[in-house]
Amino acid sequence: MKPVSKLVFVYTLNQSLHWFIIGLILPVSSLFMLEKGLNLQQIGLIFAVSSAAVLLLELPTGGLSDSLGRKRVYLISLLFMLGAVLLVMLSWNIATLMIGYVLFGTARALSSGSIDAWFVDEFNRLEPDGDLSSKLAKANIFIPLAMGVSALAGGALPDVLGWLTTDFGAGIYSINFIVMALMILVQYVLTSRLVIEQVHASRTASALDGFRRLPLLVSDAVQYGFKQLAVLLLLITSLAWGFAFSGLETYWQPQVKSMLGPDSATWQFGLLTAGYFISASAGGLLFTPLSKLLRVPASTLLFGLRSALGVLFLVLAAQHGVAGFTAFYFILFMSNGMASAPDTAMFNRQLNESNRSTMQSLNSLFLQLGGLLGSFIHGYIAQYVSISAAWCVAGVVLIASAFLYLFVREDAKNPIRAAG
């Protein structure tokens, strides 16, 4: 196997397995807490605390990845995730459950951008003028597909194997956390063996030295992000994406439930959940032939895809039947899947290897800040106007953000290609 092909394989396997692990508890996390005796307000509080932990730790943990090494920090994130799974599963009150979800947030912040930065660094080393977009598009075929399969598996596990945990006095949803813990151990071993990171002089320092360098590294990265116009524009597009999709991800279930009526079955929501991951995978599959067919600069392609996303939000808001909603819902996520690879490649082309993880964490921070802003604004609009009105606002924001891509200049020395 060629070195680049092996690199793409290892990256795809690592990220597919990572998101498969996360997906195992997505269908049952709230049900697990209800089974523990929590009410809806308490559940919302726990998720909010977890999100706050991610927001606070995104930049510091990204800096650690740049100073200590991407692989080392990702392996640490797996240990935090394992601790979170065990604590949540064994939790006996809301305090222990909350601590467990803070550990989940810490694990997410530590893993954010670490393996992605490793992949981009290694790819640039092997093929300095290579086509990063097409390689990311290949990975993006399998990663959302893994999440779709995981969502289906996570929904089926309590019904199929839940009896194993009830025999020991636990609830049926504990089986999801047990399987998740086992998969984390597998991921740890595979990452240790398969991910090979080049040793950089800046990352041979001890953990203590890495922490000492952290404030300066984070400060320099933030200044870089705000001084470089292209980077700042792309950070704003991430904020707009987070703003828009927070409204869709939060309110699609009550919107569909209102269409189906009170007798709707849970499996229908499971199919829609798996369907949007599979649609995103199809988008990754379609990206390369689409970009070869159009043969336009990446900035133009992203302008078109982001505009199409905004229009699809408006179309989705106008749907009143499940069939129409499902069709456009899947098309929307397929379009989003097509835009993912060129957007990631464009952002990475603006970065230096020394600050790549920190900058990706900054990008993730902007995305989550957009989501936090969206949760307040969409919630107000949905409550006092309608969910459809909230989605219309989201669509307009996406269309407006599409124009920012046209102002991102593509360096002639290091062009951003849509496809090879």
387, 380 Cβ separation under 8 angstroms: no
Higher pLDDT, 269 or 18: 18
Query: Is 209 a residue whose pLDDT tops 70?
Result: no
What confidence tens digit (pLDDT) does each residue in 361-415 have?
A: 788 888 878 887 887 788 788 888 888 999 999 999 999 999 999 998 765 334 3
What confidence tens digit (pLDDT) does each residue in 163-181 have?
A: 787 766 677 888 889 999 9
Residues 6+ apart with CB under 8 A from 347: 231, 234, 359, 360, 363
What percent of the chain has pLDDT above 90?
Answer: 28
What confidence tens digit (pLDDT) does each residue in 151-165 have?
A: 788 877 887 887 787
Nearest alpha carbon to residue 241 among 296, 284, 288, 305: 305
Dihedral sign computed on CA atoms, order 100, 103, 105, 111:
negative
Q: Angle 375-376-378 (CA atoms, 0-180°, nearest 5)? A: 65
335, 44 Cβ separation under 8 angstroms: no
The three-state secondary structure class of 253 is helix
Fold of the CATH domain 3-407 = Growth Hormone; Chain: A; (1.20.1250)
**Dihedral angle computed from the Cα positions of residues 286, 290, 292 and 296, in that order, rounded to the nearest 10 degrees:** -140
Q: 197 phi and psi, to 5 degrees?
A: -105, 130
Note if the pTM is more than 0.85.
no
DSSP one-letter code for 411 = P
The average confidence (pLDDT) of the chain is 82
Return d(Cα 151, Cα 280) in angstroms, integer: 14
Lowest mean per-residue pLDDT among 43-52, 122-131, 303-312: 43-52
Q: How far apart are the first and last CA of the chain?
A: 20
